[in-house]
Chain A
Amino acid sequence: MTSGKVDDSLWEVFLQEKNNSGHVHVGSLRACGSEEALQAARDVYARRGSPISIWVALSESIVASTPADAPSFFDPKDAKSFRYPNYYKVPRTLKDA
């Protein structure tokens, strides 16, 4: 039925939708090379709006932490309150801009 084994690699697609926004992961696709991956990413994930750019990266090349490890991997959110502006007491008379 299929003509030979499909040896296309899996690619992850990142879309930058607006100027000054980051590239956001939008999904994945199969393609046998980077050029095909980029064109397919455009056709599949950018049919609307006026995107600025697309990144494609081989899925296997992505190194990721796992959500299950998050508590030990990341600092607990509230443990370092001195990293937030509200930690600091400033007299009311001292207005900031």
Chain B
Amino acid sequence: MTEASRQFDFEGRIARDEKIEPNDWMPSRYRRQLVRMISQHAHSEVVGMLPEGNWITRAPSLRRKISLLAKVQDEAGHGLYLYGAAETLGAEREDLINLLLGGDARYSSIFNYPSVTWGDVGVIGWLVDQAAMVNQTMLTKCSYGPYARAMIQICKEENFHKRQGMEIMAVLSAGTSAQRAMAQDALDRWWWPTLMMFGPPDEESPHSSELIGWKVKMKSNDELRQWFVDLAVPQAEALDLQIPDSELVRDNKTGHWISGPINWDEFRSILRGEGPCNRERIESRRESHLEGAWVREAARAYEEKCRKKKALERESL
């Protein structure tokens, strides 16, 4: 088959909503874009453990602590599902991780904000995880099979993350005036960064049209952002909290909630590495990678020992 007929065949399969599997022919750009997207997604899960991990030892009760531990453990698992999906495209996990540790890979902009109060843990579950779910629900239908399947697994688990966040917010919001203030302050700081999670506006999103054409992305950044805002506004109302957007208004014709302008300069500065926690996040990842070195070495040494033992047993037979 010629390159052109392969390409034609591939596009036909995308049009028929067939899933592309690891051993199938695919355009090299499709492969590269997927590796970029899946590995960024994997890094986001792993770096996303840091702002919440910060609160494990300070959770206000044992109940909150076990939830948070389980949630952070889930994020590690999600990172592994995704590195696994990236590896089906021929990428090496070690290379991807080295790109992250070297500061050369991107991850979700949201994790470069600090989690300074317990209210932040609530808002991360309620809003950040909900935004991630909006994005990931769309990705369960993506054209690359292993990515779509990893998303299905992740979405199943993510629901608990969202609900534990909602519970924290509901309790704070119904609490003392100090607790209410803590909940509102957290919402004030996280609302806009959460809207930025969906990426730049459609007209400035460099990869979007190609990814949508390949059915890697099924909806545009702005469409997903709108979907999220429409979910979150009534929830904030139910929590009796104020969304920090004085221009937020409901369009009575479409029923959509229309946000005021997003500060894209802030978003771009975070992508340039100038966010409040960019440096700290990478530093923490490097440290824990180094601290884990002995575990990896020990596992390898143990495996070597078992192999030798087995070989000896075979000889003595």
Verify if A16 is at the interface (C-beta below 8 Å from B).
no
- Interface mask (A8-24 → B, CB under 8 Å = 1, otherwise 0): 10100000000000000
- B303 in contact with A32 (CB, 8 Å): yes
A sample of 5 inter-chain contacts (CB < 8 A) reads A27-B150, A33-B307, A36-B299, A45-B77, A66-B21
Residue of chain A at shortest CB distance from B18 = A67
Contact residues of A between 1 and 45, Cβ < 8 Å to B:
1-8, 10, 26-33, 35-36, 43-45
Of the four ranges (under 10, 10 to 19, 20 to 34, 35 or more), the interface on chain A belongs to 20 to 34
**By the criterion CB–CB under 8 Å, are B77 and A44 in contact?**
yes
A44 touching B303, Cβ below 8 Å = no
B80 contacts the other chain (CB 8 A): yes
Closest B residue by C-beta to A66: B23
Q: Which of B73, B84, B296 contacts A29 (CB 8 A)?
A: B84
- Show the binding face of A for B, using Cβ within 8 Å: 1-8, 10, 26-33, 35-36, 43-45, 47-48, 64, 66-68
Q: A2 contacts B289, CB within 8 Å?
A: yes
Give CA–CA (A45, B73) in the complex, Å: 12
Quick one: which of B152-187 are within 8 Å of A by CB?
A: 153, 157
Contact of B77 among A1, A5, A7, A47 (CB under 8 A): A47
Partner of A32, one of B24, B73, B290, B300: B300
Q: Which 7 A-B pairs have the closest CB atoms?
A: A33-B303, A3-B293, A28-B84, A32-B303, A66-B23, A6-B94, A27-B84
Q: Which residues of B contact A2 (CB under 8 A)?
A: 94, 97-98, 101, 289, 293
Contacts of A36 in B (CB 8 A): 299, 302-303
Query: Which residues does chain A contribute within 8 Å of B150, judged by CB atoms?
Result: 27
How distant is the Cα of A31 from the Cα of B146 in the complex, in angstroms?
20
Chain B, Cβ-Cβ closest to A40: B80
Seen from chain B, the residues whose Cβ lies within 8 Å of a Cβ on chain A are 21, 23-25, 70, 73-74, 77, 80-81, 84-85, 87-88, 93-94, 97-98, 101-102, 146, 149-150, 153, 157, 286, 289-290, 293, 296-297, 299-300, 302-303, 306-307
* Whole-angstrom CA separation of A44 from B74 in the bound complex: 8
Q: Are B73 and A47 in contact (CB under 8 A)?
A: yes
Asked, given contacts A3-B297, A35-B306, A67-B21, whether A29 binds B74 with beta carbons under 8 Å apart, the answer is: no
What's the Cα separation between A25 and B243 when bound, in Å? 43
Question: Which B residue's beta carbon lies closest to that of A64?
Answer: B23
In the assembly, what is the distance between CA of A26 and CA of B303, in Å? 24
A9 nearest CB neighbor, chain B only: B303
| Distance between A11 CB and nearest chain B CB, rounded to angstroms | 10
| Chain A nearest CB, measured from B289 CB (Å) | 7
- Contact B23 A1, beta carbon cutoff 8 Å: no
**In the complex, are the beta carbons of A28 and B87 less than 8 A apart?**
yes
Given the contacts A3-B293, A28-B87, A33 and B23 also touching, CB distance less than 8 Å: no
B24 and A66 contacting across the interface, CB-CB below 8 Å: yes
Shortest distance from the beta carbon of A32 to any chain B beta carbon, whole Å:
5
Is the CB–CB distance between B24 and A67 below 8 Å? yes
Chain B positions within 8 Å of A48 at CB level: 157
User: Could you tell me if B286 and A10 are in contact, using CB atoms closer than 8 angstroms?
Assistant: no
Q: Please report the C-alpha to C-alpha distance between residue A8 and residue B300 in the assembled complex, in whole angstroms.
A: 8
Instruction: Write out the residue numbers on chain B whose beta carbons fall within 8 Å of the beta carbon of A45.
Output: 77
CA distance A65 to B307 in the complex (A): 31
Told that A3-B293, A28-B88, A67-B23 touch, could you supply 17 new A-B pairs with CB distance under 8 A?
A: A1-B286, A1-B290, A2-B98, A2-B293, A28-B87, A31-B299, A33-B299, A33-B302, A33-B306, A35-B306, A44-B81, A45-B77, A47-B70, A66-B24, A67-B21, A68-B23, A68-B25
